[in-house]
Every structure is written in C-alpha cells, then in structure tokens.
C-alpha cells in the first residue's frame, strides 16, 4: 500500500511549490513533440503539459533529445528535427521561455515562467565528430550525456532499466575529447545511463561538476540505472546533483507503492550525501509512449510512471514533509539545488 498523504501536508507542499523554484531535470519532451507532430498534432506543450507544469509551480524543465534505436542511421537529422519541433511548439507561448544562459534562467524565475532547457540524452548523433558539439551549442543545447543504454562512438551505456546485467566498456578517446569539449563550452554532463566503468573513468577526467539527471539509489533498488553509494559520494564530492527518477523499474515500486519508494530513495540519498545534492528528475515517459503507440496504430502496453503527470509532483513533496523531512530540505530537493547548479554552469 502506498503512502496516504494528509491534506495538511498537501496544502503545505502546494504553498512551497508556488513560492519556490521547482525543477524536473529530465523529460523526453522534444521527442514527444516530434512524434505528435508526425501524427498531425500541434501545441503539444500547451495541450498536454502546461496546465500540470503550472499546477506544480515548475520553473525549469530539462528536455532531452533522445534518438530511438530505429533512428540511429539518421541520428543527426532526427536530433535536429526534435530540436526544431520543440522550438516551434513553444514559440509564442507567453508562459514558456527557452533557457540558454543564466539571464534566461533568472528571467524565468522572476517572471514565474516555465523555463525549458535542451540537452542531448546520448551523443550518438555526433559520432566521433566533436566539432558538432559547437553546432549543438549554437542551437541552444546546454548539456548532454555521452550515451543512452547502449554503446556508441564515445562510451558504453548500462543495461536498460528492465534488465539486470553488468555491461563493461570504457570511454573511448573520442569520448574523453567530448567531455573536455563540453566543459570548455560550459555544457553540463549527465551520467545517467552511463555504465559503471565509464562512471569511474569520468570521475578521473572531469574538472567540473556533473549530474545524474534521472537516477535513484542502487542500495534502495538494485538496478544498474541507479547509483551505488560510492558513485553518489563521488558525484556529490564534485558538487553534482542526482535527480530522482519516477519510473517504476528504477524506483522499484512494482507493488504500486510509488510515493513510498520515491521517498525511500530520496531519504537514503539525503542520509548519504546530503540534501544539497538531491533533486527531482522524473523521466515521466507514459505520454511519450502513448504518442509513439498512437503513431504506429497500436495501444501502449502499460503505464510505467510513478506519477500520473507533473501535477502530482507536490504529492511527493507532501509525502516527504509528512515523513519528517524539513521544509528547507524539501525546497532544495524540489528545485533549489538544480537551480543553483545551472546558475553556476550556464
């Protein structure tokens, strides 16, 4: 049975969400917009997301550009189409602001807008052509993970969330060069999906802080998409943040105890590395999966998200409060930490 959140804590959490920054550090938004455009839909953010963003008081969403396995032979073209689709979808939305620099981020906070920052979930699209990072930067991309859960010319990913097997493989020379180039451009580096060997190597070569935008604790749920205690400590030692993933497979909430498991992950992470290194990065994929299924004329198999939509994020904050977490720690976790990180990086 899941946590039953009392109304008094829900009210307290909603107040915190409306008065303080809220961040979701990972959402496959650009890809979903492109899928829905291909099906003839438009105004995706306005119709599917904006009401829930506003309900949760969200000020920043990190939109991934993720290239599906079936598009790898045209990865660069697919990535550019996703970026263009996102920009076109939010153009003219007065409530939304694309974030390219610190001034944009500050404006989104001051004017209570929803900031959207673009990053690459895997750099399969550049191959070994590191110069393409400059091109992506010019397009407004402000971060990247080296790879998704697969190997590419730069690095090797861990297994998929639904699997449980160790995958070995170090960063390539091109991968090391890509890390150095990203740090030169002040693009943030995401280690979610990177395998253990690559993570260890990355810690030795990075000079700036990095993040795990959508990963939980491997101690709480034994999944290779989650971080070990040692990895959490290494990330926090370099000033990084880990965003709690809201996928059932990664949270381990197979019994429907979604809020309980999300809280357990976050509480353990706070215990091990401190509240200043924990955030939200839910990776809510059901809407993306529904769009993909509709485009192919089939029904999606099942739901995998711990939350129905972004409007339910305050419920998690309320559950943390009810379980004894302080208001100050909740404020840091629900957005303050990632805001501080991006103000330094951008």
d(CA 65, CA 279): 21
Please give the Cα distance from 343 to 346 (Å, whole number).
6
In whole angstroms, what is the distance from residue 225 CA to residue 191 CA?
Answer: 10
pLDDT in tens, 141-159: 999 999 999 999 999 999 9
Residue 40 gets the label, from left (phi > 0), alpha (psi -120 to 50) or beta, of: left
Determine the pLDDT at residue 296. Answer: 87
Q: Write down the pLDDT at residue 174.
A: 98
Q: What is the pLDDT of residue 297?
A: 85
Q: Give the chain's domains with CATH numbers.
A: 7-345 (3.20.20.140)
Q: Which among 200, 99, 93 is positioned nearest to 143, based on CA atoms? A: 99
Phi, then psi, of 7 in degrees rounded to 5: -60, -35
- Are 304 and 284 spatial neighbours (Cβ–Cβ below 8 Å)? no
Confirm if 43 and 89 have CB atoms less than 8 A apart.
Answer: yes
* Length, in residues, of the chain: 346
pLDDT at 1: 61
pLDDT of res. 93: 98
Tell me which residues of the chain have a pLDDT lower than 50.
none
Residues in contact with 317: Cβ distance below 8 Å, sequence separation at least 6, in sequence order? 13, 16, 17, 330, 333, 334
Strands 60-65 and 114-121: parallel
pLDDT value of position 301: 73
Q: pLDDT tens digit string along 240-257?
A: 999 999 999 999 999 999
Distance separating the N- and C-terminal Cα atoms of the chain: 42
């Amino acid at each position: 049975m899941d946590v039953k959140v009392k109304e008094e804590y829900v009210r307290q959490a909603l107040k915190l969400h409306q008065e303080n920054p809220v961040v979701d550090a990972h959402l496959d938004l650009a890809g979903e917009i492109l899928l829905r455009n291909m099906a003839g839909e438009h105004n995706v953010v306005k119709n599917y997301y904006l009401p829930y963003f506003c309900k949760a008081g969200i000020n920043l969403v990190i939109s991934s550009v993720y290239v599906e396995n079936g598009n790898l032979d045209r990865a660069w073209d697919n990535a550019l189409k996703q970026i263009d689709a996102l920009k076109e979808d939010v153009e003219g939305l007065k409530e939304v602001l694309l974030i390219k620099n610190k001034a944009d981020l500050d404006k989104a906070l001051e004017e209570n807008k929803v900031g959207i920052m673009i990053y690459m979930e895997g750099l399969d699209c550049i191959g070994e052509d590191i110069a393409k990072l400059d091109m992506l930067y010019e397009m407004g991309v402000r971060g990247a993970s080296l790879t998704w859960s697969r190997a590419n010319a730069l690095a090797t990913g861990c297994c998929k969330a639904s699997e449980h097997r160790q995958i070995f493989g170090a960063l390539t020379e091109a991968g090391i060069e890509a890390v150095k180039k990203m740090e030169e451009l002040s693009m943030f580096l995401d280690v979610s999906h990177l395998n253990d060997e690559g993570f260890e190597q990355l810690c030795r070569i990075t000079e700036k802080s990095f993040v795990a935008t959508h990963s939980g604790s491997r101690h709480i749920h034994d999944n290779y998409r989650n971080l070990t205690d040692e990895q959490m400590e290494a990330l926090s030692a370099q000033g990084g943040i880990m965003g709690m993933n809201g996928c059932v497979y990664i949270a381990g909430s197979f019994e429907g105890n979604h809020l309980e498991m999300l809280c357990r992950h976050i509480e353990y992470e706070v215990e091990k590395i401190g509240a200043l290194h924990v955030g939200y990065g839910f990776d809510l994929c059901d809407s993306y999966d529904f769009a993909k299924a509709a485009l192919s004329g089939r029904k999606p198999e099942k739901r995998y998200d711990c939350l129905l939509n972004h409007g339910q994020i305050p419920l998690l904050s309320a559950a943390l409060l009810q379980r004894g977490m302080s208001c100050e720690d909740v404020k840091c976790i629900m957005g303050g930490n990632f805001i501080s990180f991006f103000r330094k990086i951008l």
